[in-house]
Chains A and B, each alone.
With several copies, the nearest count.
Chain A
């Protein structure tokens, strides 16, 4: 087999291909022997090349993973013989939306927005691997903070959290105000 010289994006592609899990930036930089800027350029190139193989690049809190393009889901599911997972309840979906936009967020904060107890919905999301504890608030009682997982991105066909549609400006302002208190 003749081997063309592989550029940084190709070498990056090979590493992400063999890793079953998202790979941290630092680890990529370490193994590829490049700097932050070069890594970003390589990631951008990979994002362009991926679709040629039906692949997309997923970013989750500074780690990267290759996955099949969301619009090929039906083909892939038929090939792997997978069933669609059961749909989430309205309560779980509402809770998930709040976690996705407000993360890291505590249960009390979720309940303040929804006006109802949300522990069951939160448990469902954790059991489905869509939400996970990501830290603790450094206040009295140190409540657990929750965030979305890379499985959340995969399940909803998002390349990163940035692909979530914006909240109405009025709401964003209000939240920003509240968050800075």
Chain B
């Protein structure tokens, strides 16, 4: 058997279960060689111990997990096959069922060995590289349909239309600060209770509404105002509080 390159990672993962103690990959091999009865194997224990091994590593390499998945899947498949009742078939006396399984395992083993050969090649990194592009032949012989120089100009006009940046009108509404908005709300409240909408202004855009709502929250927290909303999404009634308060600022 060739050196088991693939299992180097799993060889570090030691498993101790009833009837077996050793590296995980050896476990699979023993099961496959039917030297260990798969039916008595606790897959839960194997998995638990693998996960414990994984947790002990600084950072778990993805390949290790991938390798384990292959082994685990293989063990599950073997166990399922061993445990599940076989479909009732007429007994074929000359062909006992285990032969078929052994054959299957040998076949799998052969391809696993072949995969290891490929892994060896991969590790040696012996890749072949091809040429990226055609090389220029002697240009004198190359024929191109004669063109009018004006076609170059046309091509550039088309290019210019395509890539020329179109003038963009940027309309940035003046941003309103939280502090200014708080002042606006307080000024509006001098005449007594008003609705939030009246305070912010009927023509307020979304940015102003958001700033206004934040300012309202700040003022509520400072005890400068009270607010009530009777129904969700309904009007918010804002009432100034009687006690003296310091100038509201939004920055604390």
Residues of chain A at the chain B interface (Cβ within 8 Å): 14, 17-20, 56, 58, 65-71, 73-74, 76-77, 80, 82-91, 93-94, 96-98, 100-101, 113-117, 119, 123, 126-130, 132, 149, 151, 153-158, 163-165, 167-168, 170-171, 174-175, 178
Closest 4 CB pairs of A and B: A129-B139, A157-B126, A70-B126, A67-B128
**Interface of B with A (CB < 8 Å)?**
6, 63, 66-67, 69-70, 73-74, 77-78, 103-104, 106-108, 110-112, 114-115, 117-119, 121-153, 155-160, 162-164
- The answer to whether A94 touches B137 (Cβ under 8 A) is no
- Give complex CA distance A14, B141 in Å: 16
Cβ A73 vs Cβ B126 within 8 A: yes
Q: Is A165 a contact partner of B74 (Cβ separation < 8 A)?
A: no
Q: A77-B142, A86-B144 are in contact. Are A171 and B128 (CB under 8 A)?
A: no
Residues of B within 8 A of A127 (CB): 134, 136-137, 142
A91's partner among B66, B129, B149 (CB-CB below 8 A) is B66
> In angstroms, how far is the closest chain A Cβ from the Cβ of B118?
6
Q: Whole-angstrom distance between the alpha carbons of A178 and B157 in the complex? A: 15
Which residues of chain A are near B155, meaning CB under 8 Å?
90, 93-94, 96-97
Q: How far is the CA of A67 from the CA of B145 in the complex (A)?
A: 25
| A96 CA to B130 CA, complexed, in Å | 22
CA distance A85 to B70 in the complex (A): 22
A153 contacts across to B, CB distance below 8 A = 128
Return chain B residues, CB-CB under 8 Å to A165. Answer: 114, 117, 149-150, 152-153
Contact of B78 with A98 in the complex, beta carbons under 8 Å: no
Q: How far is the CA of A112 from the CA of B21 in the complex (A)?
A: 30
In the assembled complex, the Cα of A175 lies from the Cα of B153 at a distance in Å of 12
CB contact under 8 A between A86 and B135, given known A97-B114, A97-B118, A154-B128: no
Q: Say yes or no: B156 contacts A175, CB within 8 Å.
A: yes
